[in-house]
Amino acid sequence: MTDVMDGPGATPEVVVPSVDVAPESQPVGWRHKHLLDVDGLSATDLDLVMRTADAMREVLARPITKVPALRGRNVTILFYEASTRTRVSFEVAAKNLSADVVNIAAATSSVTKGESLVDTVRTVEALGAQMLVMRHGVSGAPYLAAEVFGGSVLNGGDGWHAHPTQALLDLYTMRSRLPDGGSVAGRKVVILGDVLHSRVARSNIWTLTAAGADLWLCGPPTLLRGFEAWAGRGAAAGRRFTVTSDVGAALRDADVVMALRIQRERMAAGLLPSLREYAARYGLTRERLALAREDALVMHPGPMNEGVEIAADVAAGSQSVITDQVTNGVAIRMALLYLLAGVSAGSASGSAAPGSGAS
């Protein structure tokens, strides 16, 4: 990964596209062919995504939530791991833009007969795919796909590595719901839970520190391994980034608390004594949430283990914006499909490599 984006405090100047027309018909300053991670996005890029999502939200408020922008374009959704939110919201987003959508679940494809990722990607391209949305259990798989696919690749989550659209919809949700105009700069944002296995946390670290947030990562020491070093590099680059197992210190006066799922499917033996002990020491309960600001936002990328990392009454409470996150996922994914389609249809080219997450 690269070390920094533009840096906190950059003043973006963006031209917001008119989303009712084809993306290639208007220059908006977006230069990335793929969206593999958020580490290559500048503050100006982030602002353009946020403002384009605002325009998409206006579309979603219309009686008919469809615009012709991607008419005739094939968006293929290829998921090797289970998903509800990401897969469905990409499908809804692409259909709202009038794209032709093809859904492939690896479990019912020729992957089960031994077909390689590269073969599958070449095959879906031969069948007409122009934009490829993919989720894969192996970190870096979308980078490999981007090397062989002629169109745009959008990462819907790869291993522990990255979940760029989730981080962008999280930032969008904060900007929509935080008081005083929604700026994240200077706000204390806490990510609490299984940070070690979380691609959501890794992508959020980039977007939130680029937006100037005072970011805290909190969880048991075994689930924070390696992040102290990252925090040190971030702090040296002017990013506000604290790593702690002290849940009281993390939550005190927080503006946003994002609980993360305990990823039992990725958990090695010995990292946690038991889920019950985790819930007792780190679960986001009403009592713990009381340490944060009284108007603090409660977030969770989903899916949730209620009663483990978050209490059911907190998840459904008045401070929760968890369903907003899901809804905003459609606007953000419409924005990204739209912006990338403009590059795919235009002049941009280039392959991707790890360390250049948006390329």
Cα–Cα nearest to 43, from 66, 18, 9, 72: 9
Interface segment toward ligand CP; rule CB under 6 A; list 2-10, 175-183, 274-282, 298-306: 298-306
Helix (H, G, I), strand (E, B) or coil at 61: coil
Nearest to ligand CP of 120, 328 (CB atom): 328
**Taking the alpha carbons of 145, 147, 149, 152 in that order, is the dihedral positive or negative?**
positive
Q: Which two tokens stand for residue 260?
A: 């993360």
C-beta separation of 262 from 305 below 8 A: yes
Q: Considering the complex, what minimum distance in angstroms separates the CB of residue 236 from ligand CP?
A: 31
Cα–Cα nearest to 163, from 209, 192, 210, 205: 205
Which amino acid makes up residue 129?
A
Work out the burial of residue 126: count CB atoms within 10 Å of its CB; fewer than 13 is exposed, 13-18 middle, 19 or more buried.
exposed
Interface segment toward ligand CP; rule CB under 6 A; list 50-58, 234-242, 295-303, 350-358: 295-303
Q: Considering the complex, what minimum distance in angstroms separates the CB of residue 132 from ligand CP?
A: 17
Q: Considering the complex, what minimum distance in angstroms separates the CB of residue 21 from ligand CP?
A: 30
Q: Considering the complex, what minimum distance in angstroms separates the CB of residue 112 from ligand CP?
A: 21
Residue 215 DSSP class: E
What would the x/- binding string for ligand CP be over residues 202 to 231, using CB under 6 A?
Answer: ------------------------------
33 binds ligand CP per the rule CB under 6 A: no
301 binds ligand CP per the rule CB under 6 A: yes
Nearest to ligand CP of 68, 303 (CB atom): 303
Helix axis angle for 117-126 and 141-148, nearest 10°, is 40
85 binds ligand CP per the rule CB under 6 A: yes
Interface segment toward ligand CP; rule CB under 6 A; list 57-65, 70-78, 82-90, 116-124: 82-90
Separation CA 340–CA 101 (nearest Å): 16
Tell which one of 68, 303, 350, 355 touches ligand CP (CB under 6 A): 303
Interface segment toward ligand CP; rule CB under 6 A; list 99-107, 118-126, 225-233, 297-305: 297-305
Interface segment toward ligand CP; rule CB under 6 A; list 84-92, 142-150, 226-234, 345-353: 84-92
25 binds ligand CP per the rule CB under 6 A: no
Separation CA 101–CA 129 (nearest Å): 9
17 binds ligand CP per the rule CB under 6 A: no
Q: Considering the complex, what minimum distance in angstroms separates the CB of residue 3 from ligand CP?
A: 26
Adjacency order of strands within the sheet including 256-259: 240-244, 214-218, 188-192, 256-259, 297-299
Q: Considering the complex, what minimum distance in angstroms separates the CB of residue 77 from ligand CP?
A: 11
What are the strands, taking DSSP E only, across 236-295? 240-244, 256-259
Q: Considering the complex, what minimum distance in angstroms separates the CB of residue 87 from ligand CP?
A: 6
Tell which one of 234, 302, 342, 357 touches ligand CP (CB under 6 A): 302
Q: Which neighbouring-strand residues pair with 218?
A: 192, 244
* Phi–psi pair at 307, nearest 5 degrees: 90, -10
Tell which one of 52, 83, 155, 305 touches ligand CP (CB under 6 A): 83
Separation CA 220–CA 108 (nearest Å): 38
What would the x/- binding string for ligand CP be over residues 139 to 168, using CB under 6 A?
Answer: ------------------x--------x--
**Taking the alpha carbons of 231, 232, 235, 239 in that order, is the dihedral positive or negative?**
negative
Site residues (CB under 6 A) for ligand CP?
A: 83-86, 157, 166, 301-303
